[in-house]
Structures are given as C-alpha cells and as structure tokens.
Amino acid sequence: MAEPAFTPRVFSGIQPTGNLHLGNYLGALKRFAETQNAGISSIYCMVDLHAITVWQDPSELRHATRELAAGFIASGLDPRQSILFNQSQVPEHTQMAWVFNCVARMGWMKRMTQFKDKAGKNAEQASLGLFGYPALMAADILVYHATHVPVGEDQKQHLELTQEIARKFNHDYGLEFFPETQPVIEGAATRVMSLRDGSRKMSKSDPSDMSRINLTDDADTIARKIRKAKTDPEPLPADADGLEDRPEARNLVNIYAALSDQSVDQVMRDAGGKPFSEFKPMLADLAVEKLAPISSEMSRLMQDVAEIDRILADGADRARAIAHPILQRTYEIIGMVGAKP
C-alpha cells in the first residue's frame, strides 16, 4: 500500500537538565525560532524521559523542564505557531520506543559512543534506559514522521541509528512508512566554545561557571564573564584568516557575529586590529543588549508556572494529534489487533 509523501517537518529535543547557556541559545534555541519564522512546521520537545536515564532529583527535574520551556519561549519560539511540549505527556513516544526496541539490534546499540562515554568503565551499573536511549530518540522523531532534525555533532550517530531503524522497519514490512530523517548539524559558526578554553565546547557540565554565559545571568554577570574571558595578548588580526590559530579570539568574534546576525567578515571589517580592551566591552554591550531581555522574560514566565504548564499541556494535545494516528498505523502494519489508525 502506498503511504503519503512526507511533508517537511522539523523535530528536536533538549534534555531538561541544568542551566541553559549561550551555546544552547545560539546553537539551538535561536535557530529553532528562525526555522519557525521561515514557516516550517516545527515540533520541540523537553525530553524528560531521556533525562531520567541518569539520576535526576525530582524537584530539579520539574524546575528544569519548566525553565527550558521558558527558555524556548523567551528565545522567540511561539508556542501557538510551533508545538512545544514535554515528552512524558505524550505516551506515544514510549509506545513507539518499545516497537523500536524490537527493531534495533543489540550490535547497533553497542556501537553507540555516547553510551560508552556516559556509562564509562562501570557499564554494568548503567541503567537499561541509558542503553536504550537512542531507540527512544528514534521514536521521538519517527512518531511524527519528522524529516529534519537540528542537533549537535555529538548526536549524529543517533540520527544514523534512527535512519537504520526506519530502513529496517520499512524493509521488514515492505512499505515506505517511515521517512529517512536528515540531521541538520550545527556548523562551526554556531558552535560556541568555553570562555576559559577555546578548544572546548561551552557546556552545562563544565565545573567552572565562568566558562559559560547562562541564559539566567543578569547584565553585570554577563559583562563580567566576557571581561574575564581568556584571550591571547595580541590585538585582533586584520581579517578572518588571522583567526585560524587563535581559538579564543575566534570564539569571541564568532559570538559577536552570531549575536549581531552578521558574518565573521563583516565583524572583522569593524573590529579588525582592535585590542581586546576595546573589543571585549563592545561584545559585553552587545551580549547584554541581546541576552538581558531573554533572561528577564524567562524569569517573568517562571513567576507563573501554571501558565507554562498550560502551554505544555496544549502542546502535548497538539503533538498527540499527530503522533497517535502514526503509532496506530504502525501497530496495524505490525499486526496488532485493535489498532485504530
């Protein structure tokens, strides 16, 4: 039986663990809002079920889930135009994940480098959920027949696994039911590096708070972190080529370019040759101008968690309206009695 052609649909998920930072904003949230504004149907999910593959304190998980939703909205995501919801509120994700547990092979899962990194030497003590994590991720995506998934480079292997699961399912049942989802990997331009070490990604797991700008930082904190950012002693080079071997300088210029929606070449036309004593205050002013409204909007939203919960419940209803028929059709294809596509 012919299945309908796949319309472009973007899906992405972020784990509600820890603080949102400038890297999440420039590499994910800001880009998500731009995709939405380009008119592409977009679905964004707080993946709380993925978060609990490692221990989460219940009250922190609840807070982080709401704060992540506030971060999406404060970054320009319109929850009426896009779908914004919490994973555990749409049971079709876990239902589809079970099906995919039965499609994915042990050998494929054992190759996943993120499991090896996260489980470390003590894999026997890792949760079964951590091992099965990529099958749930494939379910997140394919239960919406999503065609494009913006993610960081570290998730590329999970996207390849998603394609493998879709291919095996389609092959086993002789249908083109699931799309071949394309990863949209963040480029070097949107990768934000640590303020303390230009060779490492800005990350929520870095023990030094000075390494990152949190979306909840106030104006003074943002300015101070930029003033103290590590640099080399030379002034900025004349043009972008001169940034090649200067990771810290390049990072600050990249951040300036991303926050001002300019190319690195454009930024270098104005800032080339300036000492950091001049460039850092320019960057601090720009960062405060762009980020302070986001942090104040996030704290405003967090004062009314009932409203955030309403937005997430509405998002879950609209997500389910898409996921439910796709899951039921999947059950029907597999041969489950009572499936109602």
Binding site for ligand AMP (CB under 6 A): 14-15, 23-24, 26-28, 151-152, 186, 190-192, 201-204
Closer residue to ligand TRP in complex, CB, 156/167: 156
Residue 116 annotated among the catalytic residues of the structure: no
Residue 110 annotated among the catalytic residues of the structure: no
Nearest residue to ligand AMP on Cβ basis: 27
Burial class (CB in 10 A: 0-12, 13-18, 19+), 82: buried
| 13 lies in the binding site for ligand TRP (CB under 6 A) | yes
Closer residue to ligand TRP in complex, CB, 30/280: 30
Answer yes or no: are the C-beta atoms of 315 and 85 closer than 8 Å.
Answer: yes
Touching ligand TRP, residues 51-90 (CB under 6 A): none
| 135 lies in the binding site for ligand TRP (CB under 6 A) | no
In this chain, which stretch among 57-65, 136-144, 190-198, 256-264 interacts with ligand TRP, using CB under 6 A?
136-144
| Binding at 202: pick from ligand TRP, ligand AMP, none (beta carbon under 5-8 Å per type) | ligand AMP
| 181 lies in the binding site for ligand TRP (CB under 6 A) | no
Q: Are strands 42-46 and 182-185 parallel, antiparallel or unpaired?
A: unpaired
- Cα separation, 155 vs 15, whole angstroms: 13
Interface pick for ligand TRP out of 26, 47, 253, 283 (rule CB under 6 A): 47
The upper half-sphere exposure of residue 130, i.e. CA atoms within 13 Å in the direction of its Cβ, equals 17
Nearest residue to ligand TRP on Cβ basis: 13
CA angle (98, 129, 138) in 5-degree steps: 50
Q: Name the catalytic one among 116, 121, 201, 340.
A: 201
Helices (H), the chain: 22-24, 30-37, 48-51, 58-74, 92-101, 106-110, 113-119, 128-142, 156-173, 219-227, 247-260, 264-271, 276-302, 305-334
Bridge partner list, 85: 45
Q: Name the catalytic one among 168, 204, 230, 274.
A: 204
Residue 340 annotated among the catalytic residues of the structure: no
Closer residue to ligand AMP in complex, CB, 24/89: 24
In this chain, which stretch among 74-82, 137-145, 167-175, 247-255 interacts with ligand TRP, using CB under 6 A?
137-145
The helix (H) or strand (E) run that includes residue 13 is strand 10-14
Question: What amino acid positions are annotated as catalytic residues?
Answer: 118, 201, 204
